[in-house]
A = this chain, B = another copy of it.
Amino acid sequence: MESVPIRLIAAEMIAVTALIRKLEQFVRLSPADRVVLARASSDRVRKFGPRVDITREGDRPRDVHLILSGWACRYKQLDDGRRQVVSFFLPGDMCDLNVFILKEMDHSIGTITSVTIADLSRDFFDEISAGYPRIATALWWETLVNAAIQREWTMNLGQRTASERMAHLLCEIFFRLRLAGLTEGLTCEFPLTQADLADATGLSKVHVNRTLQELRAADLVILRGKVLTVPCLERLMSSGLFNPNYLHMDREGSQLDANE
């Protein structure tokens, strides 16, 4: 078995927890699995300030990034400046597996807050697929869930009204944070600005503001400073026509439980 780093500093320790906690929604990992993940997450760590790019459209993809702490987003931009956030990365999230087989990035990845990432190499994935079937399955699950999230965003932008769309996005983020163990009861940190929400929902900043006021007036959310509270998740879900099925948070892969 691989050697384990003696200790991880607090932030990364939390982050590995977020990843493991998320993956364990799907498969139960063995101690050895956890060790491999912890090692991968402590090797080649980089830190970024808020509001900077980690990768730009056109760059050659080199590694897979694992978000250890902080929030980031994937975005695409048109020449005239129109910008669309196409996904958010929360702690424990990983960008596309195997991107390095592509020649260049078709989108950028930028930070929202300060962010710590671990760069995962091709070798890591080779090692996983050779000797850690449960992790491999869990990573496939993550890939499929990410694809499902992207489809749901398509649905969100295409069919939902402004307030449904906003409620839906808030639900999704809340669910994903909770999965990663980053909520406390009904509240969570929420560093997105209204401009970020505008870029993600395809609404104007002004309309985001008005939409949030609607949600607040209906007691669906409390959003102040950088903290979100959801007084009643059920009500927010139904107002956003939110069905969590696309997050596939079931323990289906538990037939792959580690039983050593």
Contacts and interface: CB of A to CB of B under 8 A. Distances in A.
Interface string A70-104: 00001010110011101100000000101101111
B252 A103 contact: yes
B154 A98 contact: no
Oligomeric state, in copies: 2
Contacts of A245: 57, 104, 106
B107 A151 contact: yes
Contacts of A106: 148, 151-152, 245-246, 248
A35 B182 CA distance: 49
B248 A76 contact: no
A146 interface: yes
Nearest to A80: B241
Interface string A131-156: 00000010011011011101111110
A103 B157 contact: no
A124 B146 CA distance: 24
Contacts of A87: 151
Interface string A143-186: 11011101111110111100000000000000000000000000
Given A143-B143, A151-B74, A151-B86, A252 B157 contact: no
Nearest to A202: B158
Interface residues of A, number: 47
Contacts of A157: 154, 157-158, 202
27 contacts: A57-B245, A76-B155, A78-B159, A78-B241, A82-B159, A82-B160, A86-B154, A86-B155, A96-B147, A98-B144, A101-B140, A101-B141, A101-B144, A101-B252, A102-B141, A102-B248, A103-B248, A104-B245, A106-B148, A106-B245, A106-B246, A106-B248, A147-B150, A150-B150, A154-B157, A157-B158, A158-B201
Interface of A: 57, 74, 76, 78-79, 82-84, 86-87, 96, 98-99, 101-104, 106-107, 129, 137, 140-141, 143-144, 146-148, 150-155, 157-160, 201-202, 241, 245-246, 248, 250, 252-253
